[in-house]
Amino acid sequence: MLDSVIGLFACPHCESAMDLDDATVLCERGHSFDIARQGYVSLLTGAATRFTGDTAEMIADRAAFLGAGHYDPIRDAVATACASVPSDSGVLELGAGTGQYLASVLDGMPGSRGIGLDVSKPAVRRIARSHPRTGAVLADAWAQIPVRSGALGHVLSVFAPRNASEVHRVLEPGGTLVVATPTPDHLRELVSLPGMVSVDEHKTERLSAALSGRFERHERTEIRFTMELPRTALEALVGMGPSAFHLTVQQRAEMVEVLPDGFEVTASVVVSTWVRKDGAVSGD
Ligand SMILES: C[S@@+](CC[C@H](N)C(=O)[O-])C[C@H]1O[C@@H](n2cnc3c(N)ncnc32)[C@H](O)[C@@H]1O
Ligand SMILES: [Zn+2]
């Protein structure tokens, strides 16, 4: 609910504190933002974003796949990484999708509250009802994040964008960024099929380069497991990923049709925890 996190918000126009007033989020200087009837607030500014995020179909597939528990080891590793650096200041998830990772982090930290930020409308609609202590915000993670400086104990980025300078700004001293990124082995049995998008081999190196000026790596956990997926789960998995942007529903269905019902797929993800460095910042 937005009322649990309103005190963390900063106006995207003037950075002043914000409050709730009926169906509006209002800043001290009078900038106002409507709360949608589905419960999220759009803090996108007039400068249109070039991102639209995931489609309604992708979000529905993601909710079904995660809801069936196939990625529970990843979800648990993210929750454990957060709980190992305790702070009840607040959690922000960038590109929160369905809000399921954030919900599990909040379940492990009963005194905290969360902001689920996503640039996709179907995502924030779902995030708004994902957890009683989560507020949903439509915003672009690559722009200024509409959160007060130093307000948060944790930021999460799970298969999602991160914005090193803004994450550094919104975290409190000693605050942590928890990042989950796929390794080149992630979903390798599917990625080798025609039309599927593969993981960039240098993703982990690029992540370190982008964060190391502002953050100190605290922990790194590799999670690897095999999923035996029925066809419905395979369809959801293909439908929720980047391949959904350039394969038609028909092409995806044909691809999955020829796979056995109970196809083994590898999950391989690194969950890393980065502690905010104080003082001068180098690099970008
Ligand atoms: C691969 S999904 C991951 C979602 C969720 N973290 C999960 O793992 O289930 C990436 C998410 O980032 C969102 N996204 C993409 N670009 C974004 C941006 N510029 N700002 C905010 N969210 C963005 C998409 O809409 C999508 O929900
Ligand atoms: Zn304002």
Pocket of ligand 1 (CB under 6 A): 51, 53-54, 62, 95-98, 101, 118-120, 123, 140-142, 158-161
Q: Could you tell me the two tokens for 29?
A: 């200087």
Specify the pLDDT at position 280. Answer: 52
Task: Specify the pTM.
Answer: 0.94
Specify the pLDDT at position 281. Answer: 57
The better pLDDT of the pair 50, 100 is held by 100
Q: Which residues, including other chains, have CB under 8 Å from residue 9's CB and lie 6 or more apart?
A: 17, 18, 25, 43, 137, 146, 147, 148
Average pLDDT over the chain reads 92
Are the beta carbons of 98 and 58 closer than 8 angstroms? no
Atom of ligand 1 nearest to the CA of 241: 1
Specify the pLDDT at position 283. Answer: 47
CATH superfamily to which 2-276 belongs = Vaccinia Virus protein VP39 (3.40.50.150)
Specify the pLDDT at position 48. Answer: 63
CA atoms within 13 A on the CB side of 37: 0
Specify the pLDDT at position 244. Answer: 82
As a whole number, mean pLDDT of residues 175-179 equals: 97
Pairing of strands 24-27, 32-34: antiparallel
Residue-range domain boundaries for the chain: 2-276
> Which of the four pLDDT bands, split at 50, 70 and 90, describes residue 163?
very high
As a whole number, mean pLDDT of residues 69-87 equals: 96
The better pLDDT of the pair 245, 61 is held by 61
pLDDT digits (tens, 9 = 90+) for 131-145: 999 999 999 999 999
Q: Whose CA is nearest to atom 23 of ligand 1?
A: 95
Give one DSSP letter per residue of 119-166, joined into a string. Answer: S-HHHHHHHTTS-TTEEEEE--TTS--SB-TT-EEEEEEESS---HHH
In this predicted structure, the answer to whether residue 282 has a pLDDT above a threshold of 90 is no
